[in-house]
Amino acid sequence: MKLFLYNLILLILTPIFGFRIFYKSLYDKDYRSNLLQRFGISKQTYNFASDKKIIWFHAVSLGEVIGSQNIIKNLTNEANIILTVTTPTGLRKAKELYKDHDIYISYAAWDFYLFVLNFINKNQPDLIIIFETEVWPSMISIASRKDIPVIISNGRMSEKSYQSYKKLSFFSRDTFQKLTLVLAQSSAHASRFMDLGVKSESLKITGSVKYDLKPSKS
Protein backbone atom coordinates (compact mmCIF):
# COMPACT_ATOMS: atom_id res chain seq x y z
CA MET A 1 0.00 0.00 0.00
CA LYS A 2 2.82 2.44 0.84
CA LEU A 3 4.55 1.80 -2.48
CA PHE A 4 1.23 2.18 -4.30
CA LEU A 5 0.60 5.58 -2.66
CA TYR A 6 4.18 6.67 -3.42
CA ASN A 7 3.77 5.76 -7.09
CA LEU A 8 0.35 7.40 -7.28
CA ILE A 9 1.94 10.64 -6.08
CA LEU A 10 4.73 10.27 -8.66
CA LEU A 11 2.19 9.64 -11.42
CA ILE A 12 0.36 12.84 -10.48
CA LEU A 13 3.66 14.74 -10.44
CA THR A 14 4.99 13.35 -13.74
CA PRO A 15 3.63 16.29 -15.84
CA ILE A 16 5.43 18.65 -13.45
CA PHE A 17 8.67 16.67 -13.91
CA GLY A 18 8.19 16.98 -17.67
CA PHE A 19 7.64 20.73 -17.46
CA ARG A 20 10.73 21.05 -15.25
CA ILE A 21 12.81 19.24 -17.88
CA PHE A 22 11.42 21.53 -20.59
CA TYR A 23 12.15 24.65 -18.51
CA LYS A 24 15.73 23.58 -17.75
CA SER A 25 16.27 22.69 -21.40
CA LEU A 26 15.86 26.38 -22.25
CA TYR A 27 19.25 26.86 -20.59
CA ASP A 28 20.77 23.45 -21.37
CA LYS A 29 19.33 21.66 -24.42
CA ASP A 30 20.74 18.34 -23.22
CA TYR A 31 17.98 18.20 -20.59
CA ARG A 32 15.49 17.25 -23.32
CA SER A 33 17.82 14.94 -25.23
CA ASN A 34 17.24 11.21 -24.68
CA LEU A 35 13.99 12.06 -22.91
CA LEU A 36 12.66 8.51 -23.29
CA GLN A 37 15.41 7.30 -20.96
CA ARG A 38 13.60 9.14 -18.15
CA PHE A 39 10.73 6.71 -18.77
CA GLY A 40 13.02 3.67 -18.66
CA ILE A 41 13.04 3.36 -22.46
CA SER A 42 16.27 3.08 -24.42
CA LYS A 43 17.00 2.22 -28.03
CA GLN A 44 20.58 1.26 -27.18
CA THR A 45 21.65 -2.31 -27.80
CA TYR A 46 24.27 -3.52 -25.36
CA ASN A 47 26.91 -5.98 -26.53
CA PHE A 48 27.76 -7.28 -23.09
CA ALA A 49 30.47 -9.84 -22.49
CA SER A 50 28.46 -13.00 -21.75
CA ASP A 51 30.95 -14.25 -19.16
CA LYS A 52 30.61 -11.17 -16.92
CA LYS A 53 27.94 -10.02 -14.49
CA ILE A 54 26.02 -6.80 -15.14
CA ILE A 55 26.30 -3.97 -12.61
CA TRP A 56 23.97 -0.97 -12.68
CA PHE A 57 25.91 1.91 -11.14
CA HIS A 58 23.98 5.11 -10.36
CA ALA A 59 25.83 8.41 -9.85
CA VAL A 60 23.46 11.38 -9.62
CA SER A 61 25.29 14.37 -11.02
CA LEU A 62 28.69 15.84 -11.85
CA GLY A 63 30.24 15.49 -8.38
CA GLU A 64 29.21 11.87 -7.99
CA VAL A 65 30.39 10.99 -11.51
CA ILE A 66 33.83 12.43 -10.76
CA GLY A 67 34.00 10.98 -7.25
CA SER A 68 33.11 7.45 -8.37
CA GLN A 69 35.45 7.19 -11.35
CA ASN A 70 38.09 5.04 -9.65
CA ILE A 71 35.46 2.56 -8.46
CA ILE A 72 33.84 2.32 -11.88
CA LYS A 73 37.09 1.92 -13.76
CA ASN A 74 38.09 -0.90 -11.41
CA LEU A 75 34.71 -2.57 -11.85
CA THR A 76 35.05 -2.61 -15.64
CA ASN A 77 37.72 -5.28 -15.26
CA GLU A 78 35.25 -7.58 -13.53
CA ALA A 79 31.80 -6.75 -14.92
CA ASN A 80 29.66 -5.13 -17.59
CA ILE A 81 28.73 -1.64 -16.38
CA ILE A 82 25.61 0.41 -16.99
CA LEU A 83 26.09 3.92 -15.58
CA THR A 84 23.06 6.12 -15.02
CA VAL A 85 23.04 9.79 -14.10
CA THR A 86 20.40 12.45 -13.51
CA THR A 87 21.85 15.66 -14.95
CA PRO A 88 23.27 16.67 -18.35
CA THR A 89 26.52 17.83 -16.75
CA GLY A 90 26.90 14.38 -15.17
CA LEU A 91 26.10 12.70 -18.49
CA ARG A 92 28.63 14.77 -20.43
CA LYS A 93 31.35 14.19 -17.85
CA ALA A 94 30.66 10.46 -17.77
CA LYS A 95 30.95 10.23 -21.55
CA GLU A 96 34.22 12.14 -21.38
CA LEU A 97 35.69 9.98 -18.60
CA TYR A 98 34.69 6.66 -20.15
CA LYS A 99 35.10 7.32 -23.85
CA ASP A 100 37.75 4.59 -23.97
CA HIS A 101 35.80 2.12 -21.82
CA ASP A 102 32.95 -0.24 -22.68
CA ILE A 103 30.50 1.43 -20.33
CA TYR A 104 26.91 2.16 -21.28
CA ILE A 105 25.79 5.57 -20.07
CA SER A 106 22.26 6.93 -19.87
CA TYR A 107 19.87 9.01 -17.81
CA ALA A 108 18.24 7.18 -14.92
CA ALA A 109 14.53 6.51 -15.19
CA TRP A 110 12.24 8.48 -12.92
CA ASP A 111 11.35 6.30 -9.94
CA PHE A 112 7.82 5.46 -11.09
CA TYR A 113 7.40 1.69 -10.71
CA LEU A 114 6.69 0.85 -14.36
CA PHE A 115 9.56 3.02 -15.63
CA VAL A 116 12.12 1.36 -13.34
CA LEU A 117 10.68 -2.11 -13.94
CA ASN A 118 11.05 -1.60 -17.69
CA PHE A 119 14.67 -0.52 -17.25
CA ILE A 120 15.53 -3.46 -15.00
CA ASN A 121 13.74 -6.02 -17.18
CA LYS A 122 15.63 -4.79 -20.25
CA ASN A 123 19.06 -4.65 -18.64
CA GLN A 124 18.87 -7.53 -16.15
CA PRO A 125 21.44 -6.21 -13.65
CA ASP A 126 22.99 -8.67 -11.21
CA LEU A 127 23.90 -5.89 -8.76
CA ILE A 128 22.91 -2.26 -8.21
CA ILE A 129 25.40 0.22 -6.73
CA ILE A 130 24.20 3.68 -5.72
CA PHE A 131 26.89 6.27 -5.10
CA GLU A 132 26.44 8.37 -1.94
CA THR A 133 22.81 9.16 -1.12
CA GLU A 134 20.10 8.38 -3.68
CA VAL A 135 17.50 6.09 -2.11
CA TRP A 136 14.53 5.41 -4.40
CA PRO A 137 11.60 3.26 -3.15
CA SER A 138 10.51 1.78 -6.50
CA MET A 139 14.04 0.92 -7.61
CA ILE A 140 14.92 -0.74 -4.32
CA SER A 141 11.56 -2.51 -3.96
CA ILE A 142 11.82 -4.05 -7.45
CA ALA A 143 15.44 -5.06 -6.82
CA SER A 144 14.44 -6.70 -3.53
CA ARG A 145 11.64 -8.67 -5.20
CA LYS A 146 14.01 -9.85 -7.92
CA ASP A 147 16.77 -10.70 -5.40
CA ILE A 148 19.13 -8.10 -6.87
CA PRO A 149 21.51 -6.82 -4.14
CA VAL A 150 21.57 -3.03 -3.66
CA ILE A 151 24.70 -1.40 -2.26
CA ILE A 152 25.21 2.24 -1.31
CA SER A 153 28.87 3.07 -1.90
CA ASN A 154 30.54 6.06 -0.22
CA GLY A 155 27.32 6.43 1.77
CA ARG A 156 26.62 10.00 2.85
CA MET A 157 23.62 11.12 4.87
CA SER A 158 23.80 14.81 5.71
CA GLU A 159 21.78 16.21 8.58
CA LYS A 160 19.52 18.00 6.08
CA SER A 161 18.86 14.81 4.08
CA TYR A 162 18.39 12.86 7.29
CA GLN A 163 15.68 15.25 8.50
CA SER A 164 13.96 15.10 5.10
CA TYR A 165 13.89 11.30 5.11
CA LYS A 166 12.64 11.33 8.72
CA LYS A 167 9.67 13.44 7.67
CA LEU A 168 8.92 10.89 4.94
CA SER A 169 9.61 7.84 7.09
CA PHE A 170 6.15 6.43 6.31
CA PHE A 171 7.45 5.82 2.77
CA SER A 172 11.19 5.59 3.29
CA ARG A 173 11.75 3.30 6.28
CA ASP A 174 10.77 0.11 4.43
CA THR A 175 13.10 1.15 1.61
CA PHE A 176 16.10 1.62 3.90
CA GLN A 177 15.43 -1.77 5.48
CA LYS A 178 15.71 -3.44 2.06
CA LEU A 179 19.26 -2.16 1.37
CA THR A 180 21.75 -5.02 1.18
CA LEU A 181 24.82 -3.04 2.24
CA VAL A 182 25.67 0.57 3.09
CA LEU A 183 29.34 1.56 3.00
CA ALA A 184 29.18 4.74 5.06
CA GLN A 185 31.72 7.57 5.02
CA SER A 186 31.79 7.97 8.82
CA SER A 187 30.17 6.85 12.06
CA ALA A 188 27.91 9.93 11.98
CA HIS A 189 26.59 9.01 8.54
CA ALA A 190 26.24 5.36 9.60
CA SER A 191 24.22 6.38 12.67
CA ARG A 192 21.78 8.37 10.53
CA PHE A 193 21.39 5.51 8.07
CA MET A 194 20.67 3.11 10.93
CA ASP A 195 18.11 5.46 12.48
CA LEU A 196 16.34 5.62 9.10
CA GLY A 197 15.99 1.85 9.01
CA VAL A 198 19.19 0.29 7.66
CA LYS A 199 19.95 -2.94 9.53
CA SER A 200 23.08 -2.82 11.70
CA GLU A 201 24.52 -5.92 9.99
CA SER A 202 24.16 -4.12 6.63
CA LEU A 203 26.31 -1.16 7.70
CA LYS A 204 30.06 -0.74 7.36
CA ILE A 205 32.18 2.40 7.84
CA THR A 206 34.72 2.69 5.03
CA GLY A 207 35.58 6.39 4.81
CA SER A 208 35.17 8.60 1.76
CA VAL A 209 36.50 7.31 -1.56
CA LYS A 210 36.66 10.89 -2.84
CA TYR A 211 39.85 11.32 -0.88
CA ASP A 212 41.37 8.53 -2.98
CA LEU A 213 41.31 10.70 -6.09
CA LYS A 214 44.72 11.89 -7.16
CA PRO A 215 45.04 15.61 -7.90
CA SER A 216 45.95 16.40 -11.49
CA LYS A 217 49.43 17.69 -12.13
CA SER A 218 49.67 21.28 -13.29
**What confidence tens digit (pLDDT) does each residue in 161-190 have?**
999 999 988 889 999 999 999 999 999 999
CB atoms within 10 A of CB 69: 17
Band (pLDDT 50/70/90 cuts) for residue 213 is very low
Across residues 39-56, what is the average pLDDT?
Answer: 85
Domains of the chain, each with CATH number or no CATH = 2-39+52-212 (3.40.50.11720)
Report CA dihedral (139, 105, 77, 147) to the nearest 10 degrees. Answer: 10
Q: Please check the confidence at residue 215 and state whether its pLDDT lies above 60.
A: no
Please give the pLDDT value at position 133: 84
203 contacts 182 by C-beta, under 8 angstroms: yes
Percent of the chain with pLDDT over 70: 96
pLDDT digits (tens, 9 = 90+) for 49-75: 788 999 999 998 899 999 999 999 999
SS in 3 state form for the chain?
CHHHHHHHHHHHHHHHHHHHHHHHHCCCHHHCCCHHHHHCCCCCCCCCCCCCEEEEEECCCHHHHHHCHHHHHHHCCCEEEEEEECCHHHHHHHHHHCCCCCEEEEECCCCCHHHHHHHHHHHCCCEEEEECCCCCHHHHHHHHHCCCCEEEEEECCCHHHHHHHHHCHHHHHHHHHCCCEEEECCHHHHHHHHHCCCCHHHEEECCCHHHHCCCCCC
**For residue 198, pLDDT beyond 80:** yes
Residue 93 has pLDDT above 90, yes or no: yes
pLDDT-derived band at 217, boundaries 50, 70, 90: very low
Beta pairing class for 150-155 and 181-184: parallel
Residue 27 in this model has a pLDDT that exceeds 70:
yes
Please give the Cα distance from 71 to 61 (Å, whole number).
16
